[in-house]
Amino acid sequence: MTDSSKEFLEELLITPSPTGYEKKGVQVWKNYVEEFSDEVVTDAYGSCVAKININTDVATVMLEAHCDEIGMVVQHITDQGYVYIAKLGGSDSTIARAKKVFIHNKRGRVVGVTGNTAIHLQDQKNGGGKEPAWKDIYVDIGVTSKEEALELVQVGDPITYASDFEYLNDDILTARAIDNRIGGFIIAEALKRLSKQKGELKVNVIALNSIQEEVGGFGARMMSYRFMPDVALVTDVTHSTDTPGIDQKQHGTVVLGEGPTVQHGGANHPKVVEFIEQVCEKAGINIQHEATSVRTGTDTDSIFFQQTGIPSALISLPLRYMHSPVELCNLDDVENLVQIMVEAVLAMRPDQSFSVFE
Ligand SMILES: [Zn+2]
């Protein structure tokens, strides 16, 4: 991974992109892919597609990742100027207290902290010892009245945790919402490498960075309906289940640093999954396996059933502490996932198609 790629990753991870308010995040991604794509297209809601065009007669493969992150939103401002909040997507209220947050709006960025009554003062009445619900969480933005607060924030402003991007060592990095800006990084990096090997490409490639996955996979639905690729390779994060307190009998075994995962079942087309497995075997890349019991819980569920069906496969990045301000991933897994996407696209034929009965 080059230094410029690492710089792009860092910029992507520090840029706020809360679900429904992704413009800044997509802008960073768009600026980067414009340097090596043949064409870049955005839609009404702000998802972005970058293309490498080979020929109108050949198959098109789509690489996809969502660009939005979970967060919070201003719900109510009290007469004393305290800001009550609601969740955006699957944010966890039990870890929301005593955090520094940024409230984002047209004026810029307002700093606040989620209030936490000191341990000395806690009792049953103020929620001492109890896990809070979102209705109990408030942000203190350092004002004393509603009027003062309204000069800084308004109902509907999105909020993100103010946690930093940091490397624990050469391989391991922590940040808020690696889910799934890391996916945006992976598909951009794969597209960049493919653009340098355009002479070897036999299919058209589109990379899609979709909005609003965390609340229903909506951006992926709009764009995949519009472009109807012949095959889709989707990437998102998956739970690394190798930390204390997780029952692997219930959740499966996924180990950080032991390679990306492929999922089997549900939206994952069996022939596409088999194709990915063969590509990995040939390239000597270790993969882990997961079962999709009902849904994948990713954009794959939004893509595969569009129109007459888009054969799809989810290739996931193991992630610890998902939906927290200290998510943690391994850069070897990231590099391997980029490599899988590059090798898979290069292995596709001009008339590439996937059908269960062929
Ligand atoms: Zn995700």
Query: How far is ligand 1, taken at its centre, from the CA of residue 66, in Å?
Result: 7
Same domain, 107 and 241: no
Whether pTM > 0.85 for this model: the answer is yes
Low-confidence ranges of the chain (pLDDT < 50): none
Is 354 part of any domain?
A: no
Residues constituting the chain: 358
Same domain, 107 and 210: no
- Answer whether 65's CB lies under 8 Å from 183's CB: yes
Query: How far is ligand 1, taken at its centre, from the CA of residue 179, in Å?
Result: 5
Query: How far is ligand 1, taken at its centre, from the CA of residue 242, in Å?
Result: 19
* Residues paired with 313 in a beta bridge: 233
Q: How far apart are CA 209 and CA 154, in angstroms?
A: 28
**Amino acid making up residue 197:** Q
Same domain, 185 and 312: yes
- Answer whether 26's CB lies under 8 Å from 76's CB: no
- Of 133, 161, 189, the domain-final residue: 161
Query: How far is ligand 1, taken at its centre, from the CA of residue 163, in Å?
Result: 18
Same domain, 229 and 245: yes
Query: Which protein residues have a CB closer than 5 Å to ligand 1 (ion)?
Result: 179-180, 236
Is 357 part of any domain?
A: no
Is 48 part of any domain?
A: yes
Query: How far is ligand 1, taken at its centre, from the CA of residue 153, in Å?
Result: 28
Query: How far is ligand 1, taken at its centre, from the CA of residue 88, in Å?
Result: 13
pLDDT digits 0-9 by tens, 59-97: 999 999 999 999 999 999 999 999 999 999 999 999 999
Query: How far is ligand 1, taken at its centre, from the CA of residue 182, in Å?
Result: 9
CATH number for position 272: 3.40.630.10
Note the pLDDT of residue 123.
84
Query: How far is ligand 1, taken at its centre, from the CA of residue 131, in Å?
Result: 25
Range of the domain at 209: 3-69+177-346
Same domain, 94 and 240: no
Same domain, 144 and 286: no
Same domain, 63 and 200: yes
Q: How far apart are CA 211 and CA 159, in angstroms?
A: 17
Same domain, 83 and 221: no
Query: How far is ligand 1, taken at its centre, from the CA of residue 343, in Å?
Result: 23
Note the pLDDT of residue 107.
86
Is 97 part of any domain?
A: yes
Note the pLDDT of residue 149.
98
Cβ burial, residue 156 (10 Å; 0-12/13-18/19+): exposed
Q: How far apart are CA 268 and CA 358, in angstroms?
A: 17
Query: How far is ligand 1, taken at its centre, from the CA of residue 246, in Å?
Result: 20
**Amino acid making up residue 34:** E
Same domain, 83 and 229: no
Query: How far is ligand 1, taken at its centre, from the CA of residue 84, in Å?
Result: 26
Is 9 part of any domain?
A: yes
Note the pLDDT of residue 1.
84
Overall domain count for the chain: 2
Mean pLDDT of the residues in the chain: 96
- Residue 164's contacts (CB-CB under 8 Å, 6 or more residues apart) are 14, 175
Same domain, 103 and 252: no
